[in-house]
Structure 1
Amino acid sequence: MKRRPRLAVLDGMRLAAALLVVFCHYTASDDAWGSPATDLFPGLHDVTQYGWVGVEVFFLISGFVICMSSWGKSFGDFVVSRVTRLYPAYWIAVVLAAVVVSLWPAVRQLNNWTEAAVNLTMLQEGLGVHSTDGVYWTLFVELKFYLLFGLFVVVRGVDYRRCVMFCALWTVAGLAEQVAPNKLLFMWTEPFYSPYFCAGIALYLMYRFKPTALLVGITLISFVLAEYQVSHRVARLGYDTTNVDHRIAAWPAQLIVAAAFLLLTLIALGVFDRIQWRWLSTAGALTYPLYLLHQDIGLTALHALKGRVGPLPLVLGMISAMMLLAYLVQRFLERPLSSALNRAMKSGMAELRYNSAPAERRPTRVQAPAEPERVPEPV
């Protein structure tokens, strides 16, 4: 395959998805303000109350990016890349959030430090343990996708056929859960979110190879299922997510989903290949720490500062502060921790391969070369 330019617009899309979620938490929720957000942000609230759809956009992008970043990798390399990408920034965010909400429990409270320690595994959702920060539930969904994709595709080698079969089987399993509800099946099929991952995979195959009727079909089916499921998300989660006391319409959420599908399709078709603005790549690198850090830390700060500054200027200032915090975390903490974890995991994988091979076939031990500083992959 001919080398393609970096997908800078994809980085911008990730940042836009993160900002949707941030604006939703800051201007569509009453948590930080002690009064209705609808009164504080008239007009704006009507739009930002749908910002939670940014999570669905993340899942769509994730299907595309994971398929791209795992191509040609062994299962061990895939595990190393995912762990070193997800965990360092997450560990830092868990510790910071736990400290903030334990010292200033005005908006959120830390139940106990044992639960915070469990959060460091990223498995708390599976154990029924309270998440230290509200956004962490999405990472468990990501982990399940990585595990399924790794076991059913990467372990045998990522190729066109296996990716298509994975999308087909995961979709069918999700439909089976809808017909015959089962908690275990629901946990692994993720019917609310699997259409986004499957569409992302199909769109990456279009990008890597070319559009075909098969790939267009997978994308369209996933799109229809995504639109159906997001309307159910509005019905089931609308009140809790936006703290409103009236029923909200589904069509704005469906419109955001449609726009995300259209934009990623245009990216896959190479429409934006010429756009190589460096600031988009920099912004994309900040997206993950921004997403992890913004909610409980930001809401606590907003609560402390409310009344001293107008609500909208305060929100804009807080978003700027959270982006600065995300940059500092990414530049001075996440990078060195990721590099150290990467070296340690590669060494561990080398030991696993060496000690798992028959004695007569074991390769000569060779010390791994020093790792160059790497730019983190997108989630």
Structure 2
Amino acid sequence: MSNLVQSADRTASQAPPSVTAAAPSPAPPASPSPAPRKRGRLYVLDGLRLGAALMVVAYHYTALGSAAWNRPAWEVFPEVSRFSSYGYLGVQFFFVISGFVICMSAWGRPLKAFFVSRVVRLYPAYWFAVLATTVTLALIPGERERLPGYDVLTNLTMLQEPLGVRPVDAVYWTLFAEIRFYLLFAVLVRIGLTYQRVVLFCCAWGAASLLVAEAGPGPLRMLVMPEHSWFFIAGMAFYLMYRFRPNLLLFGIVGFSFCASLAATVENFEHLTHPGAQARWPVIAVLAVIFGLMALIATGKLSGVQWRWLPVAGALTYPLYLLHEFIGWEIFGHFSARGVQPWVLVGATTAGMLVLSYLVYRLVETPLSGYLKRRLS
């Protein structure tokens, strides 16, 4: 927000009446920030989060899960998998939304409050998911390897990847990416969030991503994560648009992030593709839709969407993402061997996962988050 530096004219008040003291000119403003705009709750973000989660669910259930069906999933769902193969981009959607939401939720809060908010948001549902997945894999015989108890305990820290321990469920890799973003952003929270500082942070992180993009594995590359950083950077720039107003600089950051993210994202698709979905252009098209939707939010075009069920949809997102993959595959493998039709299994399992996610939100996440928040605060 603009601040003018004003000087008090003490000389004039102290001079004799016959002496006229000239008032000093006001100093020029120093790097003014755009004035923030008042905004209400963004209901549409809740809906987009659930949409991103369902993209990932569709990808895992109909395009990737080969062992679950005892043959490639794209053979079981030949037509659907042509589209669901691109559902892995729901993860990139999550990262853009995360950049937006974390910047929004941390604004004006001290570092301790930021730390507490991340702990109570991430861990309760995650602890339940680790234990539920472990129990499911133990009870239902299938293709997935059961981890020893000490690896399960390490998974409860959410730091199994840097500790070199296998995850209980493969989807947990994205959580470590989120933690690295929080670690970098915490430095900015400690200093204090302003428009200029967030812009500088985006530019500095982008520059670091360019410098380490071709570097080999190591601590610096792990921290900077150049393959994912552009999505978080774009999300933060979108939030600055939303909070202060769009401008050419912010659109430039978003546009550069979009272009810089393409190489790694398309390369990732090449490792995940199947014979029915070899085209690369849909990757770019889906990313363009993701960035377009976020631009509509950032410019206030979707602020009028306030359907009452959207917050509930958003609450289902995190438990659904954590629970769906390995548990779903075990269910598919167990019941498909007994003659249950694949589409029946996919539909019933997805519906069951949504119900389970709601129960986790109400019975686990809400009370345990409240308890942790009171204790940590």
The amino acid of 2:51's aligned partner reads: A
User: TM-score, normalising length from structure 1?
Assistant: 0.87
The residue aligned with 1:60 is 96
Aligned residues: 340
Tell me how far 1:104 sits from its aligned partner.
2.0
CA contact (8 A) 1:97 1:133 kept: yes
Residue equivalent to 1:368: none
2:110 maps to amino acid: S
Deviation at 1:11, TM superposition (A): 0.9
Given that 1:293 and 1:322 are in contact with CA atoms closer than 8 Å, whether structure 2 keeps it comes out as: yes
CA contact (8 A) 1:238 1:247 kept: no
Letter in 2 for 1:211: P
Which of 237, 260, 264 in structure 2 is aligned with 1:202?
Answer: 237
C-alpha distance after superposition, 1:160-202 (max 9, x if no partner): 1111111111111111012444522210111111000000000
Instruction: State the partner residue of 1:354.
Output: none
Map residues 268-279 of structure 1 onto 2, 5 A cutoff. 268-279=298-309
The letter of the residue matching 2:80 is L
- 1:53-109 deviation line (CA, Å, top 9, x unaligned): 110110010000000000010000000000000000000100101111122240312
- In 1, are the aligned partners of 2:83 and 2:277 still within 8 Å (CA)? no
Moved more, 324-333 or 246-255: 246-255
The equivalences for 1:76-115 within 5 A come to 76-115=112-151
Q: Distance in 2 between matches of 1:97 and 1:287?
A: 17
Equivalent in 312, 315, 318 of residue 349 of structure 2: 318
CA RMSD after TM alignment: 1.4
Separation in structure 1 between the aligned mates of residue 89 and residue 160 of structure 2, nearest angstrom = 23
Q: Give, as a single letter, the amino acid of the residue that structure 1 aligns with 2:201.
A: F
Residues 264 and 132 of structure 1, relative CA distance in 2, 3 Å threshold: same
Q: Secondary structure at the match of 1:122?
A: coil
Q: Secondary structure at the match of 1:126?
A: coil
What is the percentage of aligned positions where both structures have the same residue?
A: 47
Match of 1:147 in 2: 183
Is 2:237–2:254's contact at 8 Å kept on the other side of the alignment? yes
Residue 198 of structure 2 is aligned to residue 168 of structure 1? no
Aligned match of 1:123: 159
Contact 1:192-1:226 within 8 A present in 2 as well: yes
Q: Please say if residues 140 and 334 of structure 2, whose CA atoms lie closer than 8 Å, have aligned partners that are also in contact.
A: no
The one-letter amino acid paired with 1:89 is: A
* Structure 1 residues not aligned, in runs of 5+: 347-379
Q: Which residue of 1 aligns with 2:288?
A: 258
CA deviation after TM superposition for structure 1 residue 251, in Å: 1.6
Q: CA offset at residue 228 of structure 1?
A: 2.4
Structure 1 partner of 2:42: 7
Give the equivalent residue in structure 2 for 1:298: 328
Greater Cα radius of gyration, structure 1 or 2: 2
Q: Which moved more, 1:180-189 or 1:284-293?
A: 180-189
Change (3 A) 1:182 1:33: closer
Aligned to 1:341: 372
Question: In the TM superposition, what is the alpha-carbon distance from 1:238 to its structure 2 partner?
Answer: 1.8
Among residues 64, 67, 72, which one is paired with 1:36 in the alignment?
A: 72
Call closer, same or farther: CA 1:132–1:180 in 2, change over 3 Å: closer
- CA distance in 1: counterparts of 2:149 and 2:181, whole angstroms: 28
Deviation at 1:247, TM superposition (A): 7.8
Question: Offset at 1:127?
Answer: 1.0
Query: SS in structure 2 opposite 1:31?
Result: helix
The offset of 1:246, in angstroms, is: 7.7
Contact 1:302 / 1:314 at 8 angstroms: preserved in 2? yes
Structure 1 residue aligned with 2:22: none
Deviations 1:98-144 (A, max 9, x none): 11112224031222010000000000011111000010010000000
Q: Which moved more, 1:251-260 or 1:214-223?
A: 251-260
Q: Secondary structure at the match of 1:273?
A: coil
Distance in 1 separating the partners of 2:302 and 2:275: 41
- CA deviations 1:307-348 (Å, max 9, x no partner) are 5432112211110000000001110111111111111111xx
Q: Is the 8 A contact 1:133 1:295 kept in 2?
A: yes
Q: How big is the shift at 1:300?
A: 0.9
Tell me which amino acid in the other structure corresponds to 2:149.
Answer: W
Hey, what does 1:132 align to over in structure 2?
168
What SS does the aligned partner of 1:278 have? coil
CA contact (8 A) 2:38 2:243 kept: no
Moved more, 136-145 or 42-51: 42-51
